Amino acid sequence: MKVLGKLMAIVCLALAVGLIADMVLPAGAGMIPSAQAASKVKLNKSTIRLCVGDTYRLKVSGTKREVTWSSSNKRVAKVNKKGLVTALKAGEARITAKVGKKKYTCKVVVRKCPAVEPLPFDPTIIVVKKPILYLYPEADTELTVTLGRPEALTTSYPAYGDGWRVLAHPDGTLEDLNTGRSLYALYWEGQSQAVPPMDEGFVVAGEDAAAFLEEKLALLGLTEREAEEFIVYWLPNLQENPYNLIRFMTVDEIDAAMPLAFSTEPDALIRVYMLYRPLEEPADVPEQTLPETPTRAGFTAVEWGGSEVG
């Protein structure tokens, strides 16, 4: 009986300890910390495609531990201690990021890309598609917006006439003073002979077009809403091509193609025009250096559009 009593006491004590642990310890406290942390660690790419001479920075997120980098084929692609991959010759390699005992890999496909012949300036007429203009004044403002080459217009909404007369509100909504209709932007399409050469830019796989535009449009000053409308319009054109050579026109080039004037001058004017050329194969061209992200302050006007070239 004494033995049985001792056994019962031990069982009761174990149950009590378990109950207290359930009440005191937080959910997940029983997990091994290293396993929990490892589940959050990620490598930003699982596959990348590069031309010989290209570089790409791989990054590991979700950890502050030291990352050790290595390449399975250093003749094809090498990687430095900061995760910068350099493509050396055609072939394939696997870049490994080691964090503690865990390894994360990225497949690197390197191709010898043919050089693309620059498109010289050519007065061939191209169609300028979907320029759309947003207005964000600090207070309700009546103003007239005019285009410097109205003879080049093929479409506009609302009707352009001698210019757009609108009442602009700080939230970006507009009222057409000719018709009283509510608008969110001004729209036009037209023709242009001012085509800059495609001698620099970005070679982007069709499947990577959305991510590319998200990154670059933010750098060029578009909000997420403006960028979304840009991407929704242009993505179907870009993603159907194996590759695209993309170049963003400079402010001077845009002004030469279609000057823009306001009866009340904006404090900040952002104009983003994309030129793209479909490619069957990736091409080796100098990467375009984009300007600093513009500051949106005071009355801000934003316009975007683009054209297929070549």
Other CB atoms within a 10 A radius of the CB of residue 94 amount to 14
Q: Are 242 and 272 in contact (CB under 8 A)?
A: no
What is the pLDDT, as a whole number, of residue 37?
A: 47
pLDDT in tens, 104-151: 999 998 887 755 554 444 445 677 888 999 999 999 999 999 999 898
Global confidence as pTM: 0.64
* Of 109, 115, 64, the residue nearest 89 (C-alpha): 109
Q: Could you tell me how many residues make up the chain?
A: 310
Assigned CATH class of 41-111: mainly beta
The pLDDT tens digits of the residues spanning 266-275 come to 999 999 999 9
pLDDT at 171 over 50: yes
Q: Who contacts 11 (Cβ-Cβ below 8 Å, separation ≥6)?
A: none
Give domain limits for the chain.
Answer: 41-111, 126-308
Confidence of residue 10 (pLDDT cuts 50, 70, 90): low
CB count within 10 Å of CB 32 equals: 8
Q: Is 184 helix (H, G, I), strand (E, B) or coil?
A: coil
Give the pLDDT band of residue 17 (cuts 50, 70, 90).
very low
The model's pLDDT over 22-53, given as tens digits with 9 standing for 90+, comes to 444 444 444 444 444 445 888 988 888 888 88
For 91-105, the pLDDT digits (tens) are 999 999 999 999 999
Question: C-alpha angle 62/65/71, rounded to 5°?
Answer: 90
